[in-house]
Amino acid sequence: MASDTASDDGYNNFLSFLHSAGSPAANGDVETATASRAENPTESSKESPDYSRTRVKRLDASSRRKFVSRRASTTEERRNPFAEREGNALIWRGVNMTLTTKRGEKKKLLSDVWGEVPPGEITAIMGPSGAGKSSLLNILSGRSRSTSSLSVESEIRMNEFKVDPTDIDVRKQIAFVAQDDSLSFTATPREAIRFSAKLRLPRITTDDEIEDLADKMLAELGLSDCADTMIGGALIKGISGGERKRTSVGVELVTKPSLVFLDEPTSGLDSFSAMQVIKVLKKIAHAGCSVLFTIHQPSSDVFNSFDRLILLNKGMVMYQGPVSDVPEYFAKHNHPMPPNYNPADWIMDVANQYSQEQLCQEGFFSRDLRNLPPAIVPKDKELLDSLGVSWHDDVSDDEWKHVGFGTEVRLLFKREIIHNTRNKKGVGARFALTTFMAILVGNIFFGVGGDSSFSDPSEFNSHFGAMVMILMMSMFGTAMPTLLSFPEERPVFLREYSTNHYSVIAYFIIVFNSNLQLCYFHTSAAMASVLLSIAYPLVGLQSGFMRFLSIEYGLAMSSTAVAVLLGCAVEDPNMATEFLPLLFVPQLLFAGFFVRTDLIPAWLRWAQYLCSLTYGVRLALLAEFGDCANDPSFTPNLCAQLLDVNQVDENEKALYWSILWGLFLVFRLSGLAVLRKKATKFY
């Protein structure tokens, strides 16, 4: 018979899970739990399992380590993505989410939601649109927290410990598959799964074992045929949407997590692929993992393969318990399921068709009747020791640790090289555009850099214009693509960072290097094609090729640093486009072309020190016109006048270089700080 609390079986499993490890609580502040009682007269406290009799276990670090070593000590076990693992149960109650509208009205989006995800089972969250499924999943996985207009309250436990899932260390214990697949578009499914395994499994795992893990995961998810096809994106055609979704699932499951959350893992999949994903989730659950996911309109086969169901309706728990009890539970509450009906459709029909008041009167929405045992408020390390599923650094044996910083950087670097090599369209378009612009500029300014320009005022102006134009082309050509591409790459970074792939510093080093490389590629390509073979000889510049190249490179690097900072700060590529004027207009205004900097209002003049173009131009002026300015044979001396108008002082050359590279460093480090802040707040 189905119970009114609708979850006795789950509770009993859960009780035995808590009983299994044995030793009583030792350290930690114990919090006394109070069980809320049903107001509904049909509920009886006798039907509530008595959690107060449960002895609270505490796994110490050494017993956890022994378990881990025993479990994955053979290479066979390490090769198997479905190897047996110790489960972690997640239990929650009193989850409330309240929105305060602009008019000050309070709207309850989640109301006293309770439940648990026992290890070894798959639990689905269902409910009508707007019921609060994603909100609940986000709160439980630490991706939602109180803001000025949204208040979030919850009491969440992992095993016997009270946890705050917004804490990055707790969040890293939960594998989370988001609805939008943030995957690197130039990687293949095999590479994406392998990358995740290499960075997240303990360093004892060999490359061979990782290959096997990836192969098995690809086969289970039906991805073997497209394993070596690029994932693809807006520019590059890649695998299908369903295959991409399954790759996202594989990327998380290959790390053998003990807790997995998935936001609509079957959306956009046909019924065969959906069943394939659910089968993999069941397999991982049978290995000891706890699986929780939201789902829309499952087929009856998919629905019947769930172990447990949480049915939300208007932010409240309408049903919670084993899926096998659903027909009896609904029948008992005046809604017997018609024969040959998909149970998922039936419960959604009932939830959608009847008012909350009527369903409440019929006995749905039972209160949380569990008598939870006291929760332990963990000390920092104790919590990690007890959860210890993701091979954190306080494991004393080196081989069980997370891979080192050097490996993180090496793997990220390798991926970045592959990304740049495969992103032929993006790099090719840049190269082609630069070549075209160089031919245009070279022809427009043909021969203006010759010796005669130093004595002919009109030629002299063109000579100066050509020089500035080449510098600006280089600056815009490197900074603009960086600003536009960085926000696109950011979701991949945030997903990977929040799931413990690597540190933010390792990532930033790669972005830094990659930009250096790309910038160098762009600049050298520009030099080879634009300056050397086209613009430099066509214009007839005089400063010397390598000298001009170094100035152009320094300018490109420091303006790209501003682009990286903006790219770190904005949320999406459209927003980045809005910020383009901020990147370039101040550079032009403070460079001294339109107005001398000493004529700018004093309170604004400091901004010139933030504009790299000013210093790039001053250095180029010295390189191009410095010799002529010191040559007494030119009277009047146009070069000396130009240096004077632009406030260029030969004795300050070292200062100009310092400011140029100083700006590069300051903006790069600010970008790192912003990224770090966003990454630790990511939810």
90 conformational bin, left if phi > 0, alpha if psi -120 to 50, beta if neither: beta
- Considering the complex, state which of residue 63 and residue 267 has its C-beta at the smaller distance from ligand ATP: 267
Who contacts 597 (Cβ-Cβ below 8 Å, separation ≥6)? 590, 605, 608, 614, 647
On whether the CB atoms of residues 222 and 276 are closer than 8 A, the answer is yes
Q: How many other CB atoms are found less than 10 A from the CB of residue 598?
A: 10
- Considering the complex, state which of residue 46 and residue 103 has its C-beta at the smaller distance from ligand ATP: 103
**Nearest distance, CB of residue 139 and ligand ATP, angstroms:** 9
Element (H, E) at 474: helix 457-498
* C-alpha closest to that of 364 among 419, 399, 326: 326
| 444 vs 435: CA distance, rounded Å | 14
- Considering the complex, state which of residue 130 and residue 336 has its C-beta at the smaller distance from ligand ATP: 130
Using the CB atoms, write b or e for 24-34: b if 16+ within 10 Å: ebeebeeeebe
* C-alpha closest to that of 541 among 472, 454, 448: 448
- Considering the complex, state which of residue 62 and residue 353 has its C-beta at the smaller distance from ligand ATP: 353
- Considering the complex, state which of residue 127 and residue 242 has its C-beta at the smaller distance from ligand ATP: 127
- Considering the complex, state which of residue 130 and residue 241 has its C-beta at the smaller distance from ligand ATP: 130
**Nearest distance, CB of residue 132 and ligand ATP, angstroms:** 4
**Nearest distance, CB of residue 96 and ligand ATP, angstroms:** 12
**Nearest distance, CB of residue 117 and ligand ATP, angstroms:** 17
**Nearest distance, CB of residue 566 and ligand ATP, angstroms:** 25
Residues in the chain: 683
**Nearest distance, CB of residue 308 and ligand ATP, angstroms:** 18
* DSSP code string of 161-228: EEE-TTSHHHHTTSEEE-SS----TTS-HHHHHHHHHHHHS-TTS-HHHHHHHHHHHHHHTT-GGGTT
| 595 vs 618: CA distance, rounded Å | 15
Query: Which chain residues interact with ligand ATP by CB under 6 A?
Result: 99, 109, 127, 129-135, 150
- Considering the complex, state which of residue 125 and residue 562 has its C-beta at the smaller distance from ligand ATP: 125
314 conformational bin, left if phi > 0, alpha if psi -120 to 50, beta if neither: left
**Nearest distance, CB of residue 432 and ligand ATP, angstroms:** 43
**Nearest distance, CB of residue 303 and ligand ATP, angstroms:** 16
* DSSP code string of 70-83: HHT-SHHHHT-TT-
- Considering the complex, state which of residue 101 and residue 635 has its C-beta at the smaller distance from ligand ATP: 101
- Considering the complex, state which of residue 99 and residue 429 has its C-beta at the smaller distance from ligand ATP: 99
**Nearest distance, CB of residue 129 and ligand ATP, angstroms:** 4
Helix (H, G, I), strand (E, B) or coil at 40: coil
User: Which residues pair with residue 122 across a beta bridge?
Assistant: 291
On whether the CB atoms of residues 250 and 188 are closer than 8 A, the answer is no
**Nearest distance, CB of residue 252 and ligand ATP, angstroms:** 20
Helix (H, G, I), strand (E, B) or coil at 363: coil
Q: How many other CB atoms are found less than 10 A from the CB of residue 216?
A: 17
- Considering the complex, state which of residue 132 and residue 487 has its C-beta at the smaller distance from ligand ATP: 132
The helix-helix angle for 271-286 and 207-220 (nearest 10°) equals 130
**Nearest distance, CB of residue 614 and ligand ATP, angstroms:** 43
| 576 vs 252: CA distance, rounded Å | 30
- Considering the complex, state which of residue 296 and residue 410 has its C-beta at the smaller distance from ligand ATP: 296
